[in-house]
């Protein structure tokens, strides 16, 4: 149902905080420094303050460091954020497939530190998403009922095969550029779509037209992208308030309950 | 909560090459979207000014904005020597007499340089009349291209034309924010249109370091979702006064400063 009298649109027009709504940001970074760009106001405390200012209850977070540099250092940073704010962050381990022989032990170290999911970004690490160096991560997630969010998953058929093979893991498509994965998201119980980078005109509506809102989770990419840069398109979208409520938090709540991970 | 008076510095009407399903291209549809998103006014370019030729697009945008009080035309320009457009002095006089108060240099799409040897004469005329001039380096309207601005050329342009209001407008500022800050410090006539500045707290950082007057709200409709830039400004952690400047008053001031 298309809605022009949306409560969420009204909130955005009035520039109000999202009080009374459960909001989960499934795609954030932690660490506050990157070779790629300057990241102002991006300490762990700053990120929590931004979540408070907008009305975000919970965030899945992973390091900047692991994208371009030392992944283990980055996982320490993510674990520290979880230790500082255990009720606000779910920490994911970020691994590098070039170090695949260390991956299992690193994931176990991360689990001992309280992390309970995996972030993959092999595209930035110059490694093919279909390469064998990522399989230790899939196996670990399958064994421990973890979520895995990847920047991309290659061909949809590949993600479909992974979801079927490692069916105790949860696969999150980290970015939306087009409804490329709509069929597999709809078909597989353990595959979800993140809204991150749905920034073109009509993207949110196209996403909801192509897959169920029960499988779409909000992600901002903060502090790469601004939180409201990513959230406002959902609030303004010409979709029902019921679907908006699912996307900004309801779907993520169900997903996290189903794949809680086993932190040590 | 007081309305911020959003004035979109960067949007288009007209059919564009890579039309996205669910998007739009007519002026009526633009007005409908502005209403939905709470945008009061827009500085409009015709897509033909970017994707075909200024002669066609500049005429078309006058037709599309005529009798629409909240739509304001902008014109695209080229280096003069090909003779495709009137001389710089005649062109700038013609634009102003037609009520056009902003120029766009799509130097990526038209393959020219923004260096003095190429467009210095045109910049001289725009500077005399204080015409807000948008520098756009991207080849395509619908693109994920990043950081295409020629920073040394921008530096020289701002240095050589200190009374020209210069506005950077590219699809995405990503790895270039460290360069951007250096130039903002060097040139008080340098501004940024926000549709490509997708960076956490960039609005807050630039406002406190260089002043809110350096930022202009823009959406890149109908390609981008205008809610992105609206969210970035409306929820920025800055004063209401600074939000109003960025949302629209800075652009109103620049357009009002054109020497008629």
pLDDT tens-digit series, residues A247-260: 999 999 999 999 99
Domain residue limits, chain A = 7-12+21-258
Q: End-to-end CA distance of chain A, in Å?
A: 44
pLDDT tens-digit series, residues B70-93: 999 999 999 999 999 999 999 999
CATH number for the domain whose boundaries are B6-256: 3.20.20.140
The predicted structure's pLDDT at residue A2: 43
Is-above-0.90 flag for pTM? Answer: yes
Compare all CA atoms of chain B with the CA of A199 and give the residue at the minimum distance. B225
- In the three-class reduction of DSSP (H, G, I as helix; E, B as strand; rest coil), residue B45 is classed as strand
Q: B225, A199: Cβ pair inside 8 Å?
A: yes
The rounded Cα A13 to chain-centroid distance in angstroms is 26
What is d(CA B185, CA B206) in angstroms, rounded to the nearest whole number?
10
The verdict on A2 touching B (C-beta cutoff 8 Å) is no
Q: What is the pLDDT confidence band of residue A215, given thresholds at 50, 70 and 90?
A: very high
Mean pLDDT of A157-165: 98
Class of domain A7-12+21-258: alpha beta
Mean pLDDT of A117-125: 97
Residue A232 has its nearest CB partner, among B175, B203, B228, at B228
The predicted structure's pLDDT at residue A27: 98
Q: End-to-end CA distance of chain B, in Å?
A: 36
Q: A228, B237: Cβ pair inside 8 Å?
A: no
Q: What is the pLDDT confidence band of residue A264, given thresholds at 50, 70 and 90?
A: low
Whether the predicted pLDDT of B130 surpasses 90: yes
Averaged pLDDT score across all residues of chain A: 96
Gap from A24 CA to chain B (nearest CA, Å): 17
Whether the predicted pLDDT of A77 surpasses 60: yes
Mean pLDDT of B185-208: 98
What is d(CA B40, CA B24) in angstroms, rounded to the nearest whole number?
18
A100 exposure class (CB count in 10 Å sphere: 0-12, 13-18, 19+): middle
The predicted structure's pLDDT at residue A5: 85
pLDDT tens-digit series, residues A129-159: 999 999 999 999 999 999 999 999 999 999 9
Mean pLDDT of B37-43: 98
Mean pLDDT of B118-122: 98
Whether the predicted pLDDT of A1 surpasses 70: no
Q: Which residues contact B131 (CB under 8 A, 6 or more apart)?
A: B92, B95, B96, B101, B102, B103, B164, B165, B258
B237 exposure class (CB count in 10 Å sphere: 0-12, 13-18, 19+): middle
Mean pLDDT of B114-123: 98
What is d(CA A224, CA B157) in angstroms, rounded to the nearest whole number?
30
Q: A201, B22: Cβ pair inside 8 Å?
A: yes
What is d(CA A173, CA A175) in angstroms, rounded to the nearest whole number?
6
At residue B39, what are phi and psi to the nearest 5 degrees? -100, 120
If interface means Cβ-Cβ distance under 8 Å, which residues of chain B face chain A?
1, 20-24, 36-38, 174-175, 177-178, 181, 198-205, 221-232, 234-235, 237
Mean pLDDT of A233-261: 97
Q: Which residues contact A110 (CB under 8 A, 6 or more apart)?
A: A75, A79, A91, A93
Whether the predicted pLDDT of B250 surpasses 70: yes
Mean pLDDT of A97-114: 97
Q: What is the pLDDT confidence band of residue A263, given thresholds at 50, 70 and 90?
A: low
Q: A12, B231: Cβ pair inside 8 Å?
A: yes
Burial of B98-134, coded b for 16+ CB within 10 Å and e otherwise, reads eebbbbbbbbbbbebebebebbbebbbbbbebbbbbb
Query: Predicted ipTM?
Result: 0.96
Whether the predicted pLDDT of B138 surpasses 80: yes
The predicted structure's pLDDT at residue B238: 98
For the beta carbon of residue B240, count every other beta carbon within 10 angstroms. 11
The verdict on A48 touching B (C-beta cutoff 8 Å) is no
What is d(CA B37, CA B216) in angstroms, rounded to the nearest whole number?
17
Closest alpha carbon to B202 in B169, B227, B180: B180
């Amino acid at each position: 149902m298309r809605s022009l009298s949306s409560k969420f649109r009204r909130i955005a027009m009035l520039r109000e905080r999202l009080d009374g709504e459960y909001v989960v940001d499934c795609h954030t970074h932690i660490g506050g420094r990157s070779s790629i760009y300057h990241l102002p106001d991006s300490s762990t405390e700053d990120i929590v303050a931004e979540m408070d200012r907008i009305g975000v209850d919970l965030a899945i977070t992973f390091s900047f460091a692991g994208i371009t540099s030392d992944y283990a250092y980055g996982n320490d940073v993510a674990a520290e954020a979880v230790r500082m704010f255990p009720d606000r962050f779910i920490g994911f381990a970020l691994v590098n497939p070039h170090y695949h022989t260390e991956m299992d032990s690193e994931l176990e170290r991360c689990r001992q530190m309280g992390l309970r999911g995996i972030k993959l970004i092999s595209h930035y690490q110059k490694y093919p998403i279909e390469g064998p160096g990522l399989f230790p991560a899939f196996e670990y997630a399958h064994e421990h009922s973890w979520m895995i969010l990847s920047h991309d998953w290659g061909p949809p058929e590949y993600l479909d095969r992974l979801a079927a093979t490692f069916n105790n893991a949860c696969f999150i498509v980290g970015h939306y550029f087009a409804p490329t994965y709509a069929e597999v998201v709809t078909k597989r119980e353990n595959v979800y779509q993140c809204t991150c980078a749905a920034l073109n005109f009509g993207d949110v509506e196209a996403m909801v037209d192509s897959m169920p809102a029960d499988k779409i989770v909000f992600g901002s990419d903060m502090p790469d992208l601004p939180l409201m840069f990513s959230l406002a398109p959902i609030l303004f979208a010409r979709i029902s308030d019921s679907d908006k409520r699912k996307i900004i938090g309801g779907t993520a709540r169900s997903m996290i309950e189903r794949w809680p991970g086993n932190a040590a | 909560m007081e309305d911020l008076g959003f004035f979109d510095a960067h949007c288009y009407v007209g059919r564009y090459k890579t039309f996205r399903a669910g998007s739009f291209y007519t002026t009526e549809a633009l007005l409908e979207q502005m209403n939905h998103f709470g945008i009061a006014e827009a500085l409009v370019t015709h897509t033909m000014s970017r994707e075909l030729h200024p002669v066609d697009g500049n005429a078309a945008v006058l037709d599309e904005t005529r009798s629409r009080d909240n739509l304001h035309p902008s014109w695209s320009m080229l280096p003069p020597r090909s003779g495709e457009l009137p001389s710089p002095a005649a062109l700038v006089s013609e634009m102003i007499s037609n009520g056009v108060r902003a120029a766009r240099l799509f130097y990526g799409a038209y393959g020219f340089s923004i260096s003095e040897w190429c467009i210095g004469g045109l910049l001289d005329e725009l500077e005399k009349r204080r015409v807000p001039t948008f520098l756009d380096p991207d080849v395509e309207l619908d693109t994920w291209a990043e950081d295409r601005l020629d920073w040394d050329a921008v530096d020289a342009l701002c240095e050589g034309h200190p009374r020209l209001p210069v506005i950077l407008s590219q699809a995405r500022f990503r790895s270039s924010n460290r360069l951007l800050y250096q130039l903002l410090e060097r040139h008080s006539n340098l501004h940024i249109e926000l549709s490509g500045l997708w960076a956490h707290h960039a609005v807050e950082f630039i406002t406190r370091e260089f002043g809110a007057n350096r930022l202009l709200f823009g959406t890149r409709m109908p390609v981008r979702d205008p809610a992105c830039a609206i969210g970035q400004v409306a929820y920025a952690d800055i004063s209401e006064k600074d939000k109003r400047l960025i949302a629209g008053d800075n652009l109103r001031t620049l357009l009002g400063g054109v020497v008629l």
